[in-house]
Chains A and B, each alone.
Chain A
Amino acid sequence: MYLEIPQLTGSVWKVWLRNRDVFMKTFRVNFIPPFIQPLLYLLAIGFGVGTFVNTVDGMPYPKFIAPAIIATGIMNSSFFECTFATYVRMYFQKTFDAIIATPLSIEEVIVGELLWGATRSTIDTILMLPVLAAFGVLEFPQSLLVIPFAFIGGFLFATIAMCFTAITPNIDSLNYPSFLFVTPMFLFSGTFFPLSLLPQPVQYMALAVLPLTHVVIIVRSFTTATLSGMVLLSLGWIVLVSLLFFLLSVNLMKRRLIA
């Protein structure tokens, strides 16, 4: 019953549109972080810490971490959108209650939220690309593939985030997945040092249970223009896991909201 397939209509986009309209109303605030964050990471870690690193896998350190900065951005955007922001809409603003009093169903509201989370990742990625490109750490045109992929990667983290939102007893408890799930991924997913430095079992663990690992693999293969079969494997992992968490998140949310 947790994996029941939801019945959806095009009304899902009405929820997406509602969130987009709010986003556009406050766009000045929303557009700043995606510009500033990659800049700070690239300067501090890429060019700061990077002076002590010769090359990683044959490439200069800033070039090695640039895709990690994008992948982390994809993760953060949709994860925080579908945890804290969704929780505020659901619990404090009662937005979902207002919407389900119309022909829309709760499943459609949740799927609209997930699609919006993925869209936030895409928007942030589009904003990050020119900043990183200005430092010459991205290969073009392959790096442009990151834009459509941001939606897929963003959707993955949106579905996982939504499961946490569905089971959290209160908004403060959402700090647990932030510290215990997002932060370890940020550090151990082949982001700032290659996975191969980790002991073999830990490497397998990272590949099996840290979604960011796969997102980093794919983004890095685009920005460094080194496409390989590994990309398809990671993409397959992402699609399967997204599907699982998609069904789980919709059903968990339905259970939470429709008693």
Chain B
Amino acid sequence: MPAILLDGWLFIAPVIVASNLVKRFGNLVAVDNISFTVEEGEIFGFLGPNGAGKTTAMKMIQCVSPGSGGKLTVFGMDVNTEQRKIKRLIGVVPQENNFDPDFTVYENLLVYSRYFDIPRRDAEKTISELLDFVQLDEKKDTMIEHLSGGMKRRLILARALVNRSRLLILDEPTVGLDPQARHLIWDRIRKLQAQGSTIVLTTHYLEEAARLCDRLVIMDSGKILVEGKPDELVRDYIGTEIVEVQNGPEAVACLDRIAAKYETIGDMIQVYTDDPQKVANALLEECRPGHVVARKATLEDVFLKLTGRKLRE
């Protein structure tokens, strides 16, 4: 277990420790020698373009995809030997909803509780609490096909909690949801963290990652490119602000003159800076560009800078 009492001191051991983790599918290296640590009670994010290896890493943590190399422990237990014990303690929200379409909302949770050996009476109590938590009590007897996309995601979050899991693995928890549904899920994820859960999530929504994650990694081609706190990553890799200006030889010459750090993206130039005023002024006064926009730098800028702008299929 994560807490170790030694000489009267309480040491909190990490919930997940991965060192030099590798996963190969034939010739493809899906996870290429990654190491990371997830501490108890934090929200840890995995970001990356499609095919970066995020989902594979999630599947390794949930003990359903044996590694090809390296070491991975969850709650101090090895994923290769203690799958059953680990799986008893974790809750999983898969990327694709996988309910039993023949069952109602309530029956889905009840049948799922049975896989964890939860006595029926306890399960019934937990399920009514959970349906309340995800605001689905009124849909208790509804068949799955009659739920909206947002309701399904809320239900699958409830299902991941039937075993009172202490580690939650959320693979794109808000994919395809409208803003209202997304905010409700975010709110619930924060509540769960406040109640002491450790949460690992993957997402394509950089805003979501910036809002939720205490720490995150950005992956590409199976490797971890960077790790850190969202705001620190933005500061370290981009600066606090971005000035966007129309691309043209004049603008380029001007930026070179003031030794700005910039990047050309199609017909636009992005200038990374901590002093947008100075850059904007220089541009406006000296080279009359088409238009100039100053905005705050975001995690999305870091993401695109590190993983490039090429489409991933």
Contacts and interface: CB of A to CB of B under 8 A. Distances in A.
A256 interface: no
Interface stretch (B83-91, B173-181, B241-249): B83-91
24 contacts: A14-B115, A18-B111, A18-B114, A21-B107, A21-B111, A25-B102, A25-B103, A26-B102, A93-B98, A93-B100, A93-B101, A95-B98, A97-B64, A101-B92, A102-B87, A102-B115, A103-B84, A103-B88, A103-B116, A104-B115, A105-B84, A258-B65, A258-B66, A259-B65
Contact of A14 (B62, B65, B114, B163): B114
Residue from the set B65, B101, B163 with the largest chain A CB neighbour count within 10 Å: B101
B11 interface: no
B105 to A, nearest CB: 14
Nearest to B25: A259
Using C-beta atoms within 8 Å of the partner chain, give the interface range for chain B. Answer: 20 to 34
A94 B112 contact: no
Interface string B245-286: 000000000000000000000000000000000000000000
A258 B64 contact: yes
Given A18-B114, A98-B94, A105-B83, 12 more contacts: A11-B115, A18-B100, A21-B111, A22-B102, A94-B96, A98-B99, A98-B100, A98-B112, A102-B163, A103-B115, A103-B117, A259-B65
Interface residues of A, number: 23
Interface in A1-21: 11, 14, 17-18, 21
A126 interface: no
Contacts of B83: 103, 105
B119 to A, nearest CB: 13
Contacts of A105: 83-84
Interface of B: 25, 62, 64-66, 83-84, 87-88, 92, 94, 96, 98-103, 107, 111-112, 114-117, 163
Given A22-B103, A100-B64, A258-B65, A17 B114 contact: yes
A101 B87 contact: yes
A22 B111 CA distance: 10
B87 A97 contact: no
A95 B102 CA distance: 11
A105 B63 CA distance: 10
Interface of B is mostly: loop
A21 B112 CA distance: 12
A195 interface: no
Contact of A101 (B62, B101, B102): B62
B87 A103 contact: yes
Interface string A218-259: 000000000000000000000000000000000000000011
A13 to B, nearest CB: 10
Nearest to B90: A101
Nearest to A97: B98
Contacts of A26: 102
A99 B62 CA distance: 12
A11 B117 CA distance: 8
B88 A21 contact: no
Contact of B64 (A17, A18, A94, A101): A101
Contacts of B103: 21-22, 25
Contacts of A258: 64-66
Nearest to B88: A103
A237 B25 CA distance: 39
A157 B92 CA distance: 34
